[in-house]
């Protein structure tokens, strides 16, 4: 069984000046550990102030109800909800695209544009015989095959009616 407490030692009163000094030292240590980050924040705030963004934000926060009223009034105008809906649909569409494949396709399209521009500068004319010879060119054949593959894939996908 535990022994009963027979003597209670009174705690010493905490000196507020000692607590203040300890807190100040801890705060200075924390600031020094994060010196680079704090300097970056100060630089950012200075740039925002130079461009008047801080004044704008202070005004917006100070007049928050009026600003919100204006925003809501503008959002309730005809066509705005359709525009927002279109933007959301566009964002959804863009998030579904495979960007790695698009980069490769964009590079190929740019190369094709360069070749077309060069042919236009040279004033080249294509005869029916030239066209038939182009079908045997591996680069042209690969591009035609890719184009028809795209058309087949796009056509095979059923569009769901809303």
The pair of three-digit structure tokens given for residue 34, joined into one six-digit string:
């994060």
Confidence band (pLDDT; 50, 70, 90) for 80?
A: confident
Cα–Cα distance, 27 to 35 (Å, whole number): 12
Q: Is the pTM of this model over 0.85?
A: no
Confidence band (pLDDT; 50, 70, 90) for 161?
A: low
- Average pLDDT of span 18-27: 92
pLDDT in the model for residue 160: 58
Which residue bears the tokens 């928050």?
64
Which residue bears the tokens 């769901």?
160
Residue 162 has pLDDT above 70, yes or no: no
pLDDT in the model for residue 60: 81
Residue 39 has pLDDT above 70, yes or no: yes
> Domain residue spans in the chain?
19-62, 98-154
Residue 58 has pLDDT above 60, yes or no: yes
Q: 80-96 and 64-75 are packed helices; what angle lies between their axes, rounded to 10 degrees?
A: 80
- Average pLDDT of span 38-52: 92
Cα–Cα distance, 48 to 58 (Å, whole number): 12
């Amino acid at each position: 069984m535990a022994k009963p407490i027979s003597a209670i030692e009174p705690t010493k009163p905490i000196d507020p000046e000692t607590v203040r000094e300890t807190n100040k030292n801890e705060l200075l240590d924390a600031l020094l550990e994060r010196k680079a980050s704090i300097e970056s924040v100060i630089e950012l705030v200075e740039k925002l102030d130079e461009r008047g963004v801080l004044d704008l934000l202070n005004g917006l926060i100070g007049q928050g109800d009026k600003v919100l009223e204006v925003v809501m009034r503008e959002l309730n105008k005809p066509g705005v909800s359709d525009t927002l809906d279109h933007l959301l649909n566009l964002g959804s569409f863009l998030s579904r695209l495979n960007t790695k494949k698009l980069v490769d396709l964009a590079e190929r399209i740019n190369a094709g544009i360069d070749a077309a521009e060069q042919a236009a500068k040279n004033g080249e004319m294509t005869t029916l015989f030239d066209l038939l010879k182009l079908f045997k060119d591996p680069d042209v054949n690969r591009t035609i095959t890719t184009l028809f593959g795209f058309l087949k894939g796009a056509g095979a996908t059923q569009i769901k009616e809303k």
